[in-house]
């Protein structure tokens, strides 16, 4: 057993995570991501110790094609949430090279404001070939973040299209980001993630793009109109916003809260939350 867990017992590590130690949280996530058999056994023990502290955070999965502005959106949304008194954890999944297996893991550089906040925690993880747009241990990492006191967990997926559906099963809200002029109604229907999205948000709705973003939003509303929603109690809205101009971000969060209220009132959220844990 190497230095990762030799120098600190699992109960002591769990206590440090509960106390909100960012270093302990980072160490705990490294432990659950390790593929060593002894580390995996220790990780299972750690997660079991921390399970009672979980289940209270709002989990939001954020997906979209590369270049749509996922990292910028998370940076701006996270700063807004911190301003509202929340503690925000970001689990950013980077694609791994099919040839070398390596990942850049540079998400912190694209979230300059959030990475400097003491009430934020950003953890990039390699996808390591895992399908579904999330890392193999994203579910466990979310539990650890919740146990450390983060009440909002944002999961940024790889952004490669139709395979990004696993995140839907482990988060409370699935947000799909789109670009202005990203496709007509038929194109929207062809994308599997559209059927799973709890909301579609058209980014970069500013300047010369504003009119095009409005048209694109109408296209997606038309596409959603002929699809059966996942819940009869929630019809996914389509909104426009600009992460760069920091406009419309508050509405994104309000829609997430409205969804949570609707799902709690109907009982749908309780069953979905049970299945994700």
Cα separation, 18 vs 21, whole angstroms = 8
Cα separation, 144 vs 140, whole angstroms = 6
pLDDT at 277 over 50: no
What is the topology classification, in CATH, of domain 55-276? Rossmann fold (3.40.50)
Cα separation, 4 vs 30, whole angstroms = 8
As a whole number, mean pLDDT of residues 105-114 equals: 67
Per-residue pLDDT at 111: 85
Domain spans of the chain, in order of start: 1-53, 55-276
CB 178 within 8 A of CB 203: yes
pLDDT at 188 over 50: no
pLDDT at 186 over 60: no
Longest dimension (CA), the chain: 59
Residue bearing tokens 């404001």: 113
Residue bearing tokens 């509960």: 18
Cα separation, 166 vs 1, whole angstroms = 32
Residue 102 burial by Cβ neighbours in a 10 Å radius (0-12, 13-18, 19+): exposed
The pLDDT-based confidence of 33 (bands split at 50, 70, 90) is confident
Residue 189 burial by Cβ neighbours in a 10 Å radius (0-12, 13-18, 19+): middle
Provide the pairing of β-strand 58-64 with 152-156.
Answer: parallel
Per-residue pLDDT at 229: 77
Strand stretches in the chain, DSSP E: 58-64, 88-94, 120-126, 152-156, 173-178, 199-202, 238-240
The CATH classification number of 1-53 equals 1.20.5.170
Give pTM, 2 decimals.
Answer: 0.85
Q: Helices 22-33 and 10-18: crossing angle, nearest 10°?
A: 130
Per-residue pLDDT at 242: 97
Residue 86 burial by Cβ neighbours in a 10 Å radius (0-12, 13-18, 19+): middle
Q: Could you report the per-residue pLDDT of 74-109, keeping only the tens digit for each?
A: 999 999 999 999 999 999 876 533 333 333 344 556
Cα separation, 118 vs 116, whole angstroms = 7
Q: Could you report the per-residue pLDDT of 194-251, keeping only the tens digit for each?
A: 778 899 999 999 999 999 999 999 988 888 888 777 788 899 999 999 999 999 999 9
């Amino acid at each position: 057993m190497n230095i990762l867990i030799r120098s600190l017992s699992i109960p002591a590590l769990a206590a440090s995570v509960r106390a909100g130690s960012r270093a302990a949280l980072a160490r705990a996530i490294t432990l659950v991501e390790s593929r060593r058999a002894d580390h995996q056994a220790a990780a299972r023990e750690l997660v079991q110790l921390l399970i009672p502290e979980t289940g209270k955070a709002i989990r939001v999965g954020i997906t979209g094609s590369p270049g749509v502005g996922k990292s910028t959106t998370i940076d701006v949304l996270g700063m807004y949430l911190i301003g509202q008194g929340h503690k925000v954890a970001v689990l950013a999944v980077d694609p791994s090279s099919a040839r070398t297996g390596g990942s850049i893991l540079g998400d912190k550089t694209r979230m300059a404001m959030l990475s400097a906040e003491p009430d934020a925690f950003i953890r990039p993880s390699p996808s390591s070939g895992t399908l579904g747009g999330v890392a193999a241990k994203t579910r466990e990492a979310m539990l650890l973040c919740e146990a450390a006191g983060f009440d909002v967990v944002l999961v940024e997926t790889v952004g490669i299209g139709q395979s990004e559906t696993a995140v839907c099963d482990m988060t409370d809200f699935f947000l799909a980001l789109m670009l202005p002029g990203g496709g007509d109604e038929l194109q929207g229907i062809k994308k599997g993630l559209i059927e799973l999205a709890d909301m579609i948000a058209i980014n970069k709705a500013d300047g010369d793009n504003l009119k095009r973003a409005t048209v694109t939003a109408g296209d997606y509303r038309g596409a959603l109109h002929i699809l059966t929603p996942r819940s009869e109690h929630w019809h996914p809205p389509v909104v426009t916003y600009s992460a760069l101009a920091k406009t419309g971000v508050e509405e994104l969060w309000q829609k997430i809260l409205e969804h949570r209220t609707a799902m709690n009132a109907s009982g749908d959220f309780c069953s979905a939350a049970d299945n994700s844990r």
